[in-house]
């Protein structure tokens, strides 16, 4: 938790704050860039928390946050802004004070160092509410704001990217989009602010969603929302749609997720994110992009800061199966062809399921795997989950469990075995001086005539073995969740069919995309790959998978 708090004997006044630094599909930074970026947004959110505790109004806190993000060259706002088709920068920003419904915005700025400061300064005037182009810069100058040459907004990486691609301009989603912030202050006021440099190679004069009330930004006395990035937000009116749902009694988390799903209904290529806070201080953060740079803090929770993966793994057009327990759809960010995403509906983890639902879950996956095998032409499937709501089911081409690549185990490991129901066994791996296992392998004690997901009997037997192992970890070692990653390989031989481990068998690439493999590489990952190259074809594939499922 941030260090600036009230006396522990006194209850904290209610406050919440969140920021985002862009929804994105790509990541071009090195490991140290990620570390520095996360440290920066952490510092920004902690300062904002201090300001809220000191009684500063929400509208000023969000303005301060966005100004700091504008000054950071890693983000597409202010310094580091995108370059348009003609080789220069045009910026836009907006601020809304939810307590008064005052909204001000400016766009087409070429010389105003901090566009969000102009939007905030305009609140002292009754007119204009929205100003565009050279007169907007003129107004900023009259307001005494810092002015700069247009070249100030450039960074070397932006210029290099522009020069490399200008001769073959196409629709490119850059690695960071809009920046924004929302806050609830201790006086009960809500506010939102947004700023952006727009899209790389955008047409001169193009205005996006960022500064448009009801599209990229909204705030009133009940909710504050800031979105980024892209035309889909403008077309779907994400901020206004989500706010209307909140006013009609829908929870803010459900409202924001629903609005983002609506954006993909209108535009399958939508790559967006949104942050929101309601009058009770509830924070919601969602994205359908591959990554989203965010930070938040509140009077009731510890601060968080970092990159998150997509919170919406399945969009409406890509659903191929749904029942009361799960939803299954084609993956928007696959690491293998014909990859399926699996999402629990009313649970946060498969480890929270009762035994009946746990067995039903895997029996349903058996049907999904048969459909996937028929569509893909592969004989086997693999399953992986990080113990959360989401899981991945994908066709694999390696028939034997022993043929896959796994990290070599240290020679000084201590191994223990446990017998499980149905002629299965678990092998527990202990590192030296560790009291709890760091890895568990589960498999048949004797030869299997068919793979785990091939028949209902084998599926139930293996699922029961996994369930028993989870119970064993809980009763003997006090572990209430899986060790981290559960991997299941549909195997025909003795050995580890399922593995519970701290980090899984795959190398982590996050926040960069996980590599895409046409052929099974010997491991599976829960990390997201690049957005599917055949994204626009996936709805038709989902319909075909759905048809095959109905026929099974």
- Which pLDDT score is estimated for 428? 92
| Close Cβ partners of 436 (under 8 Å, ≥ 6 residues apart) | 430, 477, 478, 479
- Which pLDDT score is estimated for 477? 85
> What Å distances lie between residue 362 and 90, 340, 456, CA to CA?
52, 14, 9
Q: Is the dihedral of CA 33, 509, 294, 106 positive or negative?
A: positive
What the block records as the tokens of 372 is 């996937």
Instruction: Give the phi and the psi of residue 284 in degrees, each rounded to 5.
Output: -125, 135
Residue 100 known to be catalytic: no
Residue 190 has pLDDT above 60, yes or no: yes
Query: Starting at the edge strand that comes first in sequence, how are the strands of the sheet with 273-278 ordered?
Result: 217-219, 223-228, 273-278, 283-287
- Which pLDDT score is estimated for 164? 76
* CA neighbours closer than 13 Å in the CB half-sphere of residue 462: 34
Q: Would residue 527 be called left, alpha or beta, if left means φ above 0 and alpha means ψ between -120 and 50 degrees?
A: beta
Residue 123 has pLDDT above 50, yes or no: yes
Candidates 257, 248, 250, 291; CA nearest to 275 is 257
Lowest mean pLDDT among 217-221, 308-312, 394-398: 394-398
**Range 16-309 has CATH code 3.40.50.280:** no
Mean pLDDT computed over 349-363:
92
Please tell me whether the peptide bond between 511 and the residue prior to it is cis, using omega within 30 degrees of 0. Answer: yes
CB atoms inside a 10 Å sphere around CB 543: 15
| Close Cβ partners of 336 (under 8 Å, ≥ 6 residues apart) | 394, 395, 396, 516, 517, 518, 520
User: In this structure, what DSSP letter does residue 531 have?
Assistant: P
- Which pLDDT score is estimated for 348? 87
- Which pLDDT score is estimated for 484? 81
Cα gap 20→42, rounded to integer Å: 11
Mean pLDDT computed over 68-75:
94
As beta bridge partners, residue 330 has: 340
Lowest mean pLDDT among 60-69, 316-325, 363-372, 403-412: 403-412
Local confidence band at 345 (pLDDT 50, 70, 90 cut-offs): very high
Local confidence band at 31 (pLDDT 50, 70, 90 cut-offs): confident
Residue 323 has pLDDT above 90, yes or no: yes
63 within 8 A of 117, measured Cβ to Cβ: yes
Residue 333 has pLDDT above 60, yes or no: yes
Local confidence band at 232 (pLDDT 50, 70, 90 cut-offs): confident
272 within 8 A of 260, measured Cβ to Cβ: yes
- Which pLDDT score is estimated for 411? 58
Catalytic hit among 37, 63, 112, 178: 178
- Which pLDDT score is estimated for 13? 87
- Which pLDDT score is estimated for 492? 46
When the pLDDT of each residue in the chain is averaged and rounded to a whole number, the result is: 88
- Which pLDDT score is estimated for 404? 42
Quick: pLDDT tens for 437-478.
Answer: 989 999 888 766 556 677 888 899 999 999 999 989 888 887
Residue 419 has pLDDT above 50, yes or no: yes
Quick: pLDDT tens for 382-415.
Answer: 999 987 899 999 988 754 444 444 444 555 678 8
Local confidence band at 238 (pLDDT 50, 70, 90 cut-offs): very high
- % of the chain exceeding 70 in pLDDT: 90
The bridge status of strand 424-430 relative to strand 439-444 is antiparallel
Cα gap 73→85, rounded to integer Å: 20
- Which pLDDT score is estimated for 27? 77
Mean pLDDT computed over 249-253:
97
Candidates 387, 363, 389; CA nearest to 499 is 387
- Which pLDDT score is estimated for 4? 39
Candidates 255, 263, 256; CA nearest to 230 is 263
- Which pLDDT score is estimated for 525? 93
What the block records as the tokens of 501 is 């481990």
Quick: pLDDT tens for 43-58.
Answer: 999 999 999 999 999 9
- Which pLDDT score is estimated for 504? 87
- DSSP for 448-499 reads -SS-TTTSHHHHHHHHHHHHHHHHHHHHHH---S-SSEEEEE--SSSS-SEE
- Which pLDDT score is estimated for 6? 41
SS3 sequence, 78-125? CCCCCCCCCCCCCEEEEEEECCCCEEEEEEEECCECCHHHHHHHHHHC
- Which pLDDT score is estimated for 495? 62
Quick: pLDDT tens for 437-448.
Answer: 989 999 888 766
b/e code 348-379 from CB counts within 10 Å (16+ = b): ebbbebeeebbbbbbebbbbbbbbbbebbebe
Cα gap 498→476, rounded to integer Å: 20
Quick: pLDDT tens for 264-274.
Answer: 999 998 899 99
Quick: pLDDT tens for 77-88.
Answer: 999 898 888 899
Residue spans of the domains in the chain: they are 16-309, 316-551
Quick: pLDDT tens for 156-179.
Answer: 887 787 777 776 664 444 444 789
């Amino acid at each position: 938790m941030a260090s600036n708090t009230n006396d522990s004997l006194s209850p904290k006044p209610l406050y919440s704050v969140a920021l985002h630094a862009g929804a994105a599909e790509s990541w071009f930074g090195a490991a140290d860039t990620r570390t520095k970026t996360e440290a920066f947004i952490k510092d920004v959110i902690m300062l904002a928390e201090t300001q809220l505790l000191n009684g500063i109004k929400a509208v000023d806190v969000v303005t301060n946050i966005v100004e700091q993000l504008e000054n950071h060259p890693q983000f597409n706002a202010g310094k580091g802004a995108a370059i348009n088709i003609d080789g220069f920068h045009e910026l836009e920003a907006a601020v809304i004070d939810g307590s008064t419904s005052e909204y001000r915005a400016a766009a087409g700025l070429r010389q105003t160092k901090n566009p969000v400061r102009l939007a905030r300064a305009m609140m002292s005037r009754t007119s204009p509410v929205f100003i565009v182009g050279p007169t907007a810069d003129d107004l900023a100058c009259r307001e005494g704001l810092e002015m700069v040459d247009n070249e100030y907004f450039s960074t070397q990486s932006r210029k290099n990217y522009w020069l490399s691609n200008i001769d073959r301009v196409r629709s490119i989603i850059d690695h960071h989009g809009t920046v924004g912030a929302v806050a609830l202050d201790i006086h009960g006021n809500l506010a939102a602010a947004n700023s952006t440099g727009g899209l790389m190679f955008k047409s001169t004069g193009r205005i996006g969603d960022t500064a448009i009330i009801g599209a990229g930004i909204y705030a009133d006395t009940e909710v504050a929302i800031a979105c980024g990035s892209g035309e889909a937000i403008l077309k779907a009116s994400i901020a206004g749609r989500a706010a209307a749902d909140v006013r009609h009694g829908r929870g803010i988390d459900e409202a924001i997720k629903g609005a983002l799903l609506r954006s993909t209904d209108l535009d399958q290529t939508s790559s967006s994110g949104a942050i929101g806070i309601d009058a009770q201080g509830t924070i919601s953060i969602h994205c359908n992009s591959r990554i989203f740079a965010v930070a938040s803090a509140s009077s009731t929770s510890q601060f968080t800061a970092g990159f998150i993966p997509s919170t919406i793994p399945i969009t409406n057009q890509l659903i191929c199966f749904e029942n009361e327990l799960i939803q299954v759809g084609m993956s928007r960010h696959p690491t293998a062809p014909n990859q399926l995403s699996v999402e629990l509906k009313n649970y946060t983890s498969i480890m929270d399921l009762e035994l009946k639902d746990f067995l039903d879950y895997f029996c349903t996956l058996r049907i999904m795997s048969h459909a996937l095998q028929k569509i893909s032409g592969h004989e086997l499937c693999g399953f992986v989950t990080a113990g959360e709501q989401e899981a991945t089911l994908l066709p694999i081409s390696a028939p034997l469990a022993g043929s896959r690549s796994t990290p070599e185990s240290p020679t000084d490991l201590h191994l223990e075995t446990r017998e499980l129901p149905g002629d299965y066994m678990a092998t527990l791996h202990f590192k030296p001086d560790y009291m709890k296992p760091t890895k568990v392998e589960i498999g048949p004690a004797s030869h299997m005539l068919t793979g785990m997901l091939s028949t209902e009997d084998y599926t139930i037997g293996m699922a029961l073995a996994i369930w028993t192992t989870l119970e064993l970890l809980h009763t003997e070692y006090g572990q209430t969740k899986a060790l981290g990653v559960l991997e299941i390989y549909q195997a025909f031989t003795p050995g580890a069919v399922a593995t519970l481990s701290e980090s899984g068998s795959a190398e982590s690439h996050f926040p960069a995309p996980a590599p895409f493999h046409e052929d099974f590489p010997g491991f599976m990952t829960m990390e997201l790959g690049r957005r599917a190259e055949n994204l626009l074809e996936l709805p038709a594939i989902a319909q075909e998978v759905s048809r095959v499922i109905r026929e099974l």
